[in-house]
């Protein structure tokens, strides 16, 4: 599909003033629930916008829907934004901002068609995950990502901060995590052994984190930190080798993939380390949710480690069905972590691995209050719900914006991979569907190191993501989506955000 830059603005010349009126539009992503147009349009001025709290608005909706529900009335006298909460007013402002013409040239004046917009989200949890550990991105770029999220009415920024390849958050009690763990010697070179010799690093200071958390909050977005454990921890082991089963020495990874060295589940010091880190993390992030990872944790070191084996015996863990004793040891370890987090009044999110594997077998039993992020397959989150968990839908084949497979699709297919995902599977009863908290897109950054290639991967697919998260599923229709997308592309271009509809990706 060639680039769609279709200007949806109507240009009307008014001879007596020589002003050119440029009309805004409510053809936006995510599509609002309802837009009732009426005859005429308003010459827009910021001073003509008033806001009102109206607690009756959204009566009868689910509580989270009411919280974010809003209306926009555009008439002769101006624009009235109404909502039952401040968050709702914020969502109204976000919609108004993008409904206005993306740009005005000298002598042009914005107009808005008379209308009543009434809107609320489908899901309470509408997230985007950015991996800042495989590659570090400066605060300014993270803020730009948050701007893109806000434009699409997302409300959770899942920030992946720790990895085998780098530890990215300052922790006062463990300074080596950033002194040592934030730097790696190089990156793999495709098709070759070893790695290049370009040292890469970077981390967020506590002030950086506070700045990002506050910036996101100003846009109605909560930041969820992820400390990925017990796997994907090589940067921490390189900093503190005593946290591993063998005691090291270890190096911050210069290769991608799933690595065997993980946190030792048997040593008391490991759990204390995790709690200390999380204590500081919870001080920095006021979020309801804390993501504790749990993905891709090989058990080969645990199988040979005297401490892990002793812990297994002490706990009396016995293999049970598909669940090996090492998998139960991971469940136990993560349960200790989630109990700690819950004791601080927060709630854990974990990837689906501790519960369900690639074969869709149930392999463990994380604590029941953990939210399960189903990344492996579309069915992973369904299985989590059937097992009694709250779940988030984020299957890699559809919602990993970094997925190579997705990236080689062109044009429509590229978008449809996201747009056509069924986020209301028929296998779930209405009651079970309520356990699906929402939908999340994820961007892993093994092959993304620059701002442009990051935005290039997000856009325009975030438009499709936002429709899964926010819009009315009964009205989902790809053909009707395309003109809205076209207008969003105009907005992206105006804001200087690179977007693509093709296979070629910049490195």
The residue (of 141 and 336) whose beta carbon lies closer to Zn ion is 336
296 lines the binding site for ligand ACM (CB under 6 A): yes
Q: Which of residues 29-68 bind Zn ion (CB under 5 A)?
A: none
User: What DSSP state is assigned to residue 289?
Assistant: E
The residue (of 163 and 467) whose beta carbon lies closer to ligand ACM is 163
Distance CA(276)–CA(284), nearest Å, equals 13
Query: Nearest approach, Cβ of 165 to ligand ACM (angstroms)?
Result: 13
The residue (of 158 and 325) whose beta carbon lies closer to ligand ACM is 158
The residue (of 325 and 398) whose beta carbon lies closer to Zn ion is 325
Q: Which of the listed partners (Zn ion, ligand ACM, none) does 266 bind, with a CB threshold of 5 to 8 Å by partner kind?
A: Zn ion
Q: Where are the alpha helices (DSSP H) in 100-175?
A: 139-151
Bridging pattern class, strands 156-160 and 162-163: unpaired
The residue (of 399 and 485) whose beta carbon lies closer to ligand ACM is 399
Q: SS3 string of 423-484?
A: CCCCCCCHHHHCCEEEEEEEECCCCCCCHHHHHHHHCCHHHHHHHHHHCCHHHCCHHHHHHH
Structure tokens that stand for 169 in this block: 């958050």
Query: Nearest approach, Cβ of 308 to Zn ion (angstroms)?
Result: 3
Q: Which of the listed partners (Zn ion, ligand ACM, none) does 308 bind, with a CB threshold of 5 to 8 Å by partner kind?
A: Zn ion
- Candidates 251, 295, 450, 472; binder of ligand ACM (CB under 6 A) is 295
The footprint of Zn ion on this chain (CB under 5 A) covers a number of residues equal to 6
Instruction: With CA atoms as reference, report the closest residue to 386 among 429, 424, 351, 357.
Output: 429
- Candidates 24, 266, 294, 366; binder of Zn ion (CB under 5 A) is 266
Q: SS3 string of 341-386?
A: HHHCCCEEEEECCCCECCCCCECCCCCCCCEEEECCCHHHHHHHHH
The footprint of ligand ACM on this chain (CB under 6 A) covers a number of residues equal to 4
The residue (of 80 and 383) whose beta carbon lies closer to ligand ACM is 383
Q: Where are the alpha helices (DSSP H) in 198-267?
A: 206-218, 234-239
Instruction: With CA atoms as reference, report the closest residue to 185 among 168, 198, 194, 176.
Output: 198
Q: Which residue lies nearest ligand ACM, judged by its C-beta? A: 295
The residue (of 417 and 487) whose beta carbon lies closer to ligand ACM is 417
Query: Nearest approach, Cβ of 189 to ligand ACM (angstroms)?
Result: 23
Distance CA(482)–CA(484), nearest Å, equals 5
Distance CA(323)–CA(326), nearest Å, equals 8
The residue (of 96 and 436) whose beta carbon lies closer to ligand ACM is 436
Distance CA(26)–CA(80), nearest Å, equals 15
- Candidates 100, 145, 308, 464; binder of Zn ion (CB under 5 A) is 308
Q: Which of residues 348-387 bind ligand ACM (CB under 6 A)?
A: 351, 375
Q: Which of residues 208-247 bind Zn ion (CB under 5 A)?
A: 245
Query: Nearest approach, Cβ of 331 to Zn ion (angstroms)?
Result: 16
Q: Which of residues 322-351 bind ligand ACM (CB under 6 A)?
A: 351
Main-chain phi, psi angles of 392, to 5 degrees = -120, 140
Bridging pattern class, strands 391-393 and 371-374: parallel
Q: Which of the listed partners (Zn ion, ligand ACM, none) does 357 bind, with a CB threshold of 5 to 8 Å by partner kind?
A: none
Kindly list the residues in this chain that would bind ligand ACM in the complex (CB under 6 A).
Answer: 295-296, 351, 375
Kindly list the residues in this chain that would bind Zn ion in the complex (CB under 5 A).
Answer: 245, 264, 266, 305, 307-308
């Amino acid at each position: 599909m060639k680039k769609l830059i279709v200007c949806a603005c109507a240009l009307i010349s008014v001879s007596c003033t020589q002003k050119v009126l440029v009309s805004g539009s409510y053809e936006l992503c995510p599509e609002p629930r309802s837009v009732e147009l009426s005859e005429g349009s308003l010459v827009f001025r910021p001073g003509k916008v008033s806001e009102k709290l109206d607690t009756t608005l959204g009566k009868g909706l689910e509580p989270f829907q009411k919280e974010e529900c809003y209306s926009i009335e555009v008439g002769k006298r101006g624009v009235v934004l109404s909502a039952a909460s401040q968050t709702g007013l914020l969502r109204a402002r976000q919609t108004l901002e993008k409904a206005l013409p993306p740009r005005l040239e000298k002598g042009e004046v914005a107009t808005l068609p008379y209308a009543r917009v009434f809107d609320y989200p489908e899901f309470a949890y509408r997230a985007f995950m950015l991996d800042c550990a495989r590659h570090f991105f400066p605060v300014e770029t993270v803020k730009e990502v948050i701007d893109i999220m806000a434009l699409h009415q997302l409300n959770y920024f899942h920030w992946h901060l720790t990895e085998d390849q780098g530890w990215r958050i300052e922790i006062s009690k463990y300074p080596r995590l950033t002194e040592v763990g934030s730097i790696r010697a190089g990156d793999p070179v495709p098709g070759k052994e070893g790695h290049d010799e370009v040292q890469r690093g970077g981390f967020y200071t506590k002030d950086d984190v506070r700045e990002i958390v506050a910036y996101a909050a100003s846009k109605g977005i909560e930041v969820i930190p992820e400390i990925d454990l017990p796997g994907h921890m090589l940067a921490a082991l390189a900093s503190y080798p005593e946290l591993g089963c063998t005691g090291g020495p270890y190096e911050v990874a210069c290769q991608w993939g799933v690595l065997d060295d993980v946190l030792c589940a048997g040593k008391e010091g490991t759990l204390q380390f995790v709690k200390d880190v999380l204590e500081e993390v919870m001080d920095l992030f006021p979020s309801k949710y804390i993501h504790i990872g749990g993905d891709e944790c090989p058990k080969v070191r645990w199988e040979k480690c005297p401490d892990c084996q002793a812990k297994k015996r002490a706990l009396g863990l016995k293999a049970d069905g598909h669940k090996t004793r090492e998998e139960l040891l991971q469940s136990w370890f993560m349960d200790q972590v989630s109990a700690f987090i819950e004791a601080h009044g927060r709630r854990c999110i974990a990837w689906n691995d501790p519960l369900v594997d690639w074969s869709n077998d149930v392999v463990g039993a994380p604590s029941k209050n953990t939210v399960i992020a189903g990344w492996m397959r579309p069915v992973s989150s369904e299985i989590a719900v059937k097992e009694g968990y709250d779940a988030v839908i984020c299957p890699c084949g559809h919602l990993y914006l970094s997925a190579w497979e997705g990236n080689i699709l062109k044009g429509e297919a590229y978008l449809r991979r996201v747009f056509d995902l069924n986020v209301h599977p028929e296998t779930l009863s209405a009651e079970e569907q309520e356990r699906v908290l929402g939908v999340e897109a994820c961007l892993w950054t093994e092959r993304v190191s620059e701002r442009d290639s990051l935005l290039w991967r997000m856009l325009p697919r975030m438009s499709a993501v936002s429709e899964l998260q926010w819009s009315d599923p009964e009205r989902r229709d790809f053909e009707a989506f395309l003109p809205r997308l076209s207008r969003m592309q105009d907005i992206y271009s105006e804001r200087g955000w690179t977007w693509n509809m093709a296979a070629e990706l910049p490195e």
